[in-house]
Amino acid sequence: MLFDPQICELKDEKFAPFISVNEIETILCKSQNPSPEQIRSVIEVALSRRRLSMEQTALLLNARDEETRALIFDAARRLKREIYGERIVLFAPLYIGNRCINNCAYCGFRASNTDAIRRTLTDDEIVHEVQAMEAVGQKRSILVYGEHPAYDAEYIAHTVRLVYGTRHDADRINRVNINAAPFDVEGFRTVKEAGIGTYQIFQETYHPEVYKRFHPSGRKADYGWRLTAMDRAMEAGIDDVGLGVLLGLGDWRFEVLALVRHTNHLEACFGVGPHTISFPRIQRASNLDRAPLKLVSDEDFMLLVAVLRLAVPYTGLILTAREPRALRDRLIEFGVSQIDAGTQLEIGGYAERRGAQDLDKEQFELMDTRSLAQVVDELAERGQIPSFCTACYRKGRTGEHFMEFSTKGFIKRFCTPNALLTFAEYLEDYASEESRAKGYALIERKVAELDDPAIRSTVLDYLTRIRAGERDLLL
C-alpha cells in the first residue's frame, strides 16, 4: 500500500489554501521528546515503504539526541540503498534572466537591489550557453528566471524549445525543467506544450506571517497564489512538479512538516505527489541582511534530509551546489538523489565566465564550484554511478521517481542499467583517459552485480556498441 488511506481521505479541495499553522504547530508540539521505541516504530513503517503521516514525521523531526538521530540516519541510508541503489542523477541550472519585480529580502535579484547587474540572455546567447553546457556533457538542465512581465509563459515556452533545439555537434540536452514564477492554468498549458520536464517552484516558507515579512511587495507577496501554483500546474496536465522551501526564514521543523502537508494535499486532490523536493539553505547574496535569518545548522540539516527521505520515500530529493562538497557527499548517502554539477550562476557564465564569483551578477554564493568532470570522477571513486538518464521522460514514462519506487523491480530493470549506459556514453564522449579507465572499472563492478542474466547480457551488448560509437541505447 503506497498511500495512507487517511491521506486519500483528506477533505482538501483543489485551489483552496491547505496550510493551517495551528494544525502543524499542534502536531509538532505533541511530538516532543520521542523515545527510541517511538522512533523505531516509525522507522518500521518507513522501511516497509509506506508514506509517513504528519504525526509520525513530527516524531522524527523532534529527535534531538544522538541515539535517536543515529537511528534515523541509519534507516534513511538503508532506504536509499535498498530502493534506489548507488546512482545519482546530475543536472545543471541555466539562468536565463534576472529582471525581477519582487523584493524577496534574501535574494540578490530583488528589485530594490540597485547593485545587481541585470541581464536577460538573447536567443543567440542562450544557444551559446547551451552549447557550452553540452560540450562538457550536460544532459539535463533547469531554466531559471526572475519574475517579470517580460518572462511570461510564451517567452518561457520559447526558451524551452530553443534549448531542446540546440546542438553542439551531436550533443543535446534531453530534459529541460523550469523554475519560474507561477502561472495561471492557461500559462501552465503553454509551458507544458513546450515539453518541460518538471515544473519547480519553492514556497520559500509555508508560514504566512514569516512569508509576509520576507516578501513585502511585488506579485510574490501573494502567499495564496504561490501556495496553489502546483494545483494549477496539475490542472493543466503537468503531473511532474517540484516542491521546496528556503531554509533560514522560518522554523525548519515547521517547514518540513508543511512540505509533507503539501505532498498530502497533492496526493489527495490529484492522486500524485511531488516528483522532487528541494530544501536550499540561504547563502550569501548581494547586499543581504543576515540579521532576520534563522540559519539551520549542519546537524539539523542532515536530520531533515534523512526525515524527508523516510517520510516521502517515492520522491526525488535535490541538493544543490549551494552546499559544500563534503556535506553533499554525506547527504547522498542519506537519500539525496539528484545534484547539480559544474553549475554557473552568473548569467552567460557557461560560455563567458572567466574568474571568481561576483555576487552582483549572481543570485547567491555557490559553495561547491567543482566542474562536472570533477564531480563525476569523485562520485565514481566513491562507488556512486553518475547518471545522465532521461529514458523515462523520453519514453513517455512520467513520474519516474514514483515508478521507480512503486513498480516492483523497476530500478533493477531500468534505472541502474540506464545509469550505467549513460555513464559509459559520458566516459566515451567527454572524459579524460584516466577518468575513462576509472569509470569503466566501476561499470564493470556494477554490471557484475546485476542479478538478472538477461539484463546483464543486454547491458554488456549495449556497452560494446557504445564503445563502437552507437548512442542512445537505453532500456
The answer to whether residue 364 forms part of the interface with ligand SF4 (CB under 6 A) is no
Going by C-alpha positions, the residue among 174, 176, 282, 192 that lies closest to residue 233 is: 192
**Which of ligand SF4, ligand SAM, none binds 282 (CB below 5-8 Å, type-dependent)?**
ligand SAM
Instruction: Restricting to residues 236-295, name those near ligand SF4 by CB under 6 A.
Output: none
> Judging by beta carbons within 10 Å of its beta carbon (0-12, 13-18, 19+), is residue 55 exposed, middle or buried?
middle
201 binds, among ligand SF4, ligand SAM, none (CB under 5 to 8 A by kind): ligand SAM
By the rule CB under 6 A, 206 interacts with ligand SAM = no
Window 270-289: residues binding ligand SAM (CB under 6 A): 280, 282-283, 285
The least CB distance from residue 123 to ligand SF4, in Å, is 21
C-beta neighbour count of 228 within 10 angstroms: 18
Residue 238 neighbours by CB distance under 10 Å: 20
Pick 5 or 149: Cβ nearer ligand SF4: 149
Cβ burial, residue 388 (10 Å; 0-12/13-18/19+): buried
DSSP-derived pairing of the beta strands 167-168 and 171-172: antiparallel
Q: Does 364 bind ligand SAM (CB under 6 A)?
A: yes
Sites for ligand SF4 among residues 163-222 (CB under 6 A): 220
Work out what residue 73 binds among ligand SAM, ligand SF4, none; the CB cut-off runs from 5 to 8 Å by kind: none
Among positions 135-194, residues that touch ligand SAM (CB under 6 A) are 144-147, 179-181
Least separation in angstroms between residue 282's CB and ligand SAM is: 4
CB atoms within 10 A of CB 361: 21
CA 280 – CA 147 distance, rounded (Å): 19
| Sequence letter at residue 41 | S
* Cβ-contact 221, 212 below 8 angstroms: yes
- Cell triple for residue 54? 504528519
Q: Under a CB-based contact definition with an 8 Å cutoff, are residues 423 and 447 in contact?
A: no
Please tell me whether residue 100 binds ligand SF4 under the rule CB under 6 A: yes
Residue 110 near ligand SF4 by CB under 6 A: yes
Check: CB of residue 101 under 8 Å from CB of residue 113.
no
Query: Residue 176 and residue 194: Cα distance in Å, rounded?
Result: 10
Q: Which lies closer to ligand SF4 via its Cβ, residue 148 or residue 207? A: 148
| Helix residue ranges, H only, 166-251 | 185-193, 208-214, 223-227, 229-235
- Nearest Cα to 304, choosing from 244, 264, 262, 384? 244
Q: Which does 110 bind (CB under 5 to 8 A by kind): ligand SF4, ligand SAM, none?
A: ligand SF4
Q: Name residues contacting ligand SAM, limited to 88-117 (CB under 6 A).
A: 106-107
Tell me whether residue 210 or residue 419 sits nearer to ligand SF4 (CB atom): 210
CB of 214 to ligand SF4, least distance (A): 9
Q: Which of residues 39-68 bind ligand SAM (CB under 6 A)?
A: none
Partner whose binding site includes residue 202, from ligand SAM, ligand SF4, none (CB under 5 to 8 Å by kind)? ligand SAM
Q: Is residue 107 close enough to count as binding ligand SF4 by CB under 6 A?
A: yes
# of chain residues touching ligand SF4 (CB under 6 A): 9
Burial of 121 (0-12, 13-18, 19+ CB in 10 A): buried
Interaction of residue 102 with ligand SF4, rule CB under 6 A:
yes
Q: How far is the CB of 392 from ligand SAM (least distance, A)?
A: 25
Q: Which residues bind ligand SAM (CB under 6 A)?
A: 106-107, 144-147, 179-181, 201-202, 204, 246, 280, 282-283, 285, 322, 363-364
What residues line the site for ligand SF4 (CB under 6 A)? 100, 102, 104, 107, 109-110, 146-147, 220
